[in-house]
Structure 1
Amino acid sequence: MTTETKTIGIQSLQIGLNILEILAMEKEPLKFTDIQNLTAMTKSNLYKYLSTLSQFGLIYRNPHTNAYTLGHKLVQLGNVALSQTSLIEVVIPYFKKITEKTNLTVLLAVPSKKGPLVSYILSADYGINIGAQIGTHLPLSSSTGIVFSVFEKDVLMKEWEEEELSKFNESELQQFQSEKEKTKELFFVSKTEPLVKHVSSFSVPILNYNHELLGAITIVGITETVPKSADHHTGQYVLNAAREISEYFGFEK
């Protein structure tokens, strides 16, 4: 018979972190009474927590409005955390598992002024010309391009998208808009790749805490071997991997 081990937390630390989360979620300065209403804490206890958090620079009280916001120390800590871990370092172990499970090629595309840029590729055991290598810019009509069109907010990339759209005919524009709507709902899109015949792919987004697109995971293979639906077990496996990576960078759906 096994005994389940329960994790014991420090209650005071949990309360302090809860206050930080409240300030982050409200996205606007909060006064003492606002925080008290949201936490249901006594005035004396709340004052002690706010005073301690302020001392460490985790929150800031505006002396003119007496309203609280997140402090500079959190920005410093966040920047250090981001600098210590790159996106590629995070995705590599996931890509290895995906390739082992699916025997398909996996690539990571990141934003650039000229469109999605392939920054990392993990190839399957067998040789296949996927029409892309590290440094390749992928077109808007690819599965990766559609993901970027749906989730990328950068103005410079919108300029790239407008230039690409100008090359579409009316039928292609209608199909593209339909694919975008489905991708927005499913976080998944599958396409026959425009770069190489008989090759297909599907792509899923990687997002951060601010729902900004960090990159896209794209699975590439011979058309017959690449899932067309997010419900397929391979699609679900990759979607779960993308969700875990996104959560690492603070994403909450």
Structure 2
Amino acid sequence: METTKKGTTIQSLQIGLGIVDLLAKEGRPLKFTDIQNLTQITKSNLYKYLNTLTQIGILYRNKESGTYILGSKLIEYGMAAADQENVVDRIAPYLQEINVYSLNTVLYSSWTNNGPMIVKEVKTNQGFNIGAQMGTLLPILSATGKVFAAFIDEHFIHEWREKEFLHTDPEKLNLLDEECKLIRKNGISFAREPLVSSVSSVAFPVFNYKKKLLGVITVVGFSDLIPNNEDHELSKYLINVSKEISASFGYEQHS
């Protein structure tokens, strides 16, 4: 693999990005003459730079005033960069908050080709057996699995669903589609003792600005402490937290 030698740069790229940086720092629309005075780039070269940056959407030129501002392409790049951030690190404070409020174990699960997997766990009682741990793949009838079934396109989960259906009670599967409709409507999912006797769970989705499901946060505990409907105090709290977390990733919920 070719490595870049220290000190080797593309000067024209540096100059172009310097113009973008200038507009960002100035924080106001700039005319051609303003940019020329601030950069001291020759007029003929500056015209080429501005024309190129405008054509590819990095800058935007107001035709009436002739001023330049940062373009929409930079917003796309910024959101894409945010999308690549470590989601687990960003939601960790929320997991801790939910753990303190609920006094129950809190999980964060991501989608894999083999189904939803637990990638983060905040425990209340180290000796409490929830029937799962980091790296565990969760079944479709768990609160977590139902959220993924409700919000991920059928194309992506078809194979997983087919495998799960082979090992799942047909009567419960018949109810799954109706449950998914309620989950999409209410934004919360419930499961009574899906893995371990006396242990139940409640889960909610985390979306990004593209309305894409990033993952699922789940609260797990003894069945008498875990709600089984959206009117429960803990359910209302989780629904509010769900909206707050997704909003932090740019998700806009429409009423």
Provide TM-score, normalisation by structure 2.
0.70
Q: Percent identity?
A: 30
Report whether the alignment pairs 1:81 with 2:97: no
Asked if the contact 1:143–1:193 (Cα under 8 Å) also holds between the matched residues in 2, the reply is no
Structure 2: runs of 5+ lacking an equivalent: 1-26, 30-60
For residue 50 of structure 1, report the CA deviation from its aligned partner. 8.7
Mapped partners of 2:245, 2:125: distance in 1: 24
Distance change >3 Å, CA 169–CA 123, structure 1 → 2: closer
Alignment partner of 2:228: what SS?
A: coil
For residue 201 of structure 1, report the CA deviation from its aligned partner. 0.3
Higher Cα radius of gyration: 2
1:208 counterpart residue number: 208
Residue by residue over 1:161-184, the C-alpha shift from the partner in whole angstroms, topping out at 9 and shown as x without a partner, is 222124445422222122112111
Amino acid in the other structure paired with 2:180: K
1:97 counterpart residue number: 97
Amino acid in the other structure paired with 1:82: D
1:250 counterpart residue number: 250
For residue 152 of structure 1, report the CA deviation from its aligned partner. 1.4
Distance change >3 Å, CA 90–CA 49, structure 1 → 2: farther
1:159 counterpart residue number: 159
Mapped partners of 2:86, 2:65: distance in 1: 34
Alignment partner of 1:220: what SS?
A: strand
5 Å-filtered alignment, 1:140-155, equals 140-153=140-153, 155=155
Distance change >3 Å, CA 52–CA 144, structure 1 → 2: same
Asked if the contact 2:62–2:68 (Cα under 8 Å) also holds between the matched residues in 1, the reply is no
1:110 counterpart residue number: 110
Asked if the contact 2:95–2:106 (Cα under 8 Å) also holds between the matched residues in 1, the reply is yes
1:17 counterpart residue number: none
1:47 counterpart residue number: 63
Residue by residue over 1:1-35, the C-alpha shift from the partner in whole angstroms, topping out at 9 and shown as x without a partner, is xxxxxxxxxx978xxxxxxxxxxxxxxxxxxxxxx
Mapped partners of 2:193, 2:219: distance in 1: 11
For residue 130 of structure 1, report the CA deviation from its aligned partner. 0.4
Asked if the contact 1:112–1:157 (Cα under 8 Å) also holds between the matched residues in 2, the reply is no
5 Å-filtered alignment, 1:11-26, equals none
Deviates more, 1:208-217 or 1:123-132: 123-132
Distance change >3 Å, CA 109–CA 52, structure 1 → 2: same
Residue by residue over 1:165-217, the C-alpha shift from the partner in whole angstroms, topping out at 9 and shown as x without a partner, is 24445422222122112111111111113211110001100011121110001
Amino acid in the other structure paired with 2:199: V
Root-mean-square deviation over aligned CA pairs: 2.4
Mapped partners of 2:177, 2:78: distance in 1: 40
Amino acid in the other structure paired with 2:107: L
Mapped partners of 1:50, 1:158: distance in 2: 53
For residue 98 of structure 1, report the CA deviation from its aligned partner. 1.2
Amino acid in the other structure paired with 1:77: G
Mapped partners of 2:65, 2:237: distance in 1: 42
Mapped partners of 2:124, 2:201: distance in 1: 14
Distance change >3 Å, CA 48–CA 241, structure 1 → 2: farther
